[in-house]
Chain A
Amino acid sequence: MIALLMRDLRLAMRAGGGFGLGLAFFLIVVTLVPFGVGPETGLLARIAPGILWLGALLACLLSLDRILALDWEDGSLDLLATSPLPLEGIVTMKALAHWITTGLPLVIASPLFAVLMSLPGAGYAPLVLSLLLGTPALSVIGTFGAALTVGIKRGGLLLSLLVLPLYVPTLIFGAEMARRGAEGADTTTPMLMLAGISAGVIALLPFASAAVLRVNLR
């Protein structure tokens, strides 16, 4: 399983898309927002947590179809499925690789982008923490969506349609936590909910993803 993870990471590095693309997309979203709503600092500061969360979510979404599609096309997914590794473990590793290449860079870079959005000083720690807690859930849910649509040609748009409603709870609690943090309010409740959702999703959803993948490989 570790070998599989390393292989996925190496592939993502070599293709160059993984690390760079998501971050660049995040940057573009953050750059475009002031053009849309105006450069007023107070307004930007108020919407910063939400925009940063949305940007992270969209950047995550952008790379979802790469999780499984490439392995599906060249047949290595069939090989993996016939290997002694449980399929549940394989999808978990896929999600983990996706998180390390997309989610983690977003978490690390988010304070920089928060500066662009003039986030109040108190908001940085909650923002980073909320992204750290929330993005793994985004990757795992996204892997489920990718497993559902892996057999469909040009399934990218469908993937978004399926995955975005599933992102609602994570987004709500994550953005709420970042927002409360920026206002200097207590963040405990949304943080616990967010952590709960992430834990539950990581524990249970790989089984659904594996079941769906088995159907698709049939």
Chain B
Amino acid sequence: MNLNALWEYANPLKFMRTTERALPYFWVAAVVCLVVGLVWGFFFTPDDFRQGSTVKIFYLHVPSAMMAINIWVMMLITSLVWIVRRHHVSALAARAAAPIGAVMTVIALATGAIWGQPMWGTWWAWDPRLTSFLILFLFYLGYIALWEAIENDDTAADLTAVLCLVGSVFALLSRYAVNFWNQGLHQGASLSLDKKENVADVFWFPALVSIAGFVLLFIALVILRTNTEIRARRMRALLARERLG
């Protein structure tokens, strides 16, 4: 595919028209994958010999955690596109994605806490991975709050894009700092589960379907919310013009 053709979708109207035609398919695919993945995972997988039935939380915890990180990466990319090429759709897509990312982070944290309770005997431990997710959640909150606080759309897009860039660097730094800090406390005795040893094929296939479901759900939601943001922006512009005369 010619990459230049991609930029045509930077036109908001064209973007809305194309994506809204595709949206129903994404909804259907997302619901199918989620239902299949979760039902398969919940009803038709054996219990893990060490973790019992809690292994079923895997099908929610891992996809949501992956999405929490990937959504931030997607926001970083769209922010860069906005800064370099100044396509409004890109900035609005980042805005639309942020609350989804925040919810995914909450799901990952909540399922992690509920899983941790029977496995580690505690709801919360300052394990590097948990701590990083908490920090990631704070970044999401700050990003969303900054969008909400600024009235001018272009200013808000610029400032949040820079915040996203700087935030990404600091999020990475925090990730390594947290690793270091916890090792300093526990001499490397991490509580986190070793994912590789945990995942046999029986558990892996439903998890893959579930991950696909989360991705598709995210795409559907982002399309819906981006189009909402495009309309809201157009509405603000029209209202401003009316007020002027």
Contact = CB atoms under 8 A, between A and B. Distances in A.
Contacts of A197: 173
Contacts, number: 80
A169 B170 contact: yes
A107 B171 CA distance: 27
A158 B159 CA distance: 13
Per DSSP, chain A at the interface is helix
Contacts of B138: 161, 164-165
Interface in B86-113: none
Contact of A169 (B142, B162, B174): B174
A158 B177 contact: no
Interface residues of A, number: 30
B75 interface: no
A165 B158 contact: no
A209 to B, nearest CB: 9
A148 B184 CA distance: 34
A208 interface: yes
A53 to B, nearest CB: 12
Contacts of B145: 158, 161-162
A187 to B, nearest CB: 11
A112 B64 CA distance: 48
B205 interface: no
B159 A168 contact: no
A190 B171 CA distance: 18
Interface in A164-218: 164-166, 168-169, 172-173, 176, 179-180, 189-190, 193, 197, 205, 208, 211-212, 215-216, 218
A215 B170 contact: no
B27 interface: no
A161 B141 contact: yes
Interface of B: 135, 138-139, 141-142, 145-146, 149-150, 155, 158-159, 162-163, 165-167, 170-171, 173-174, 176-178, 180-181, 184
A168 B174 contact: yes
Contact of A172 (B159, B162, B167, B177): B177
B150 A208 contact: no
Contacts of A165: 135, 138-139, 142, 167, 170-171, 174
Interface of A: 144, 148-149, 151-152, 155, 158, 161-162, 164-166, 168-169, 172-173, 176, 179-180, 189-190, 193, 197, 205, 208, 211-212, 215-216, 218
B60 to A, nearest CB: 25
B160 to A, nearest CB: 9
A156 B56 CA distance: 44
Contacts of A218: 155
Contact of A148 (B159, B177, B180): B159
Contacts of A151: 150, 155
A176 B180 contact: yes
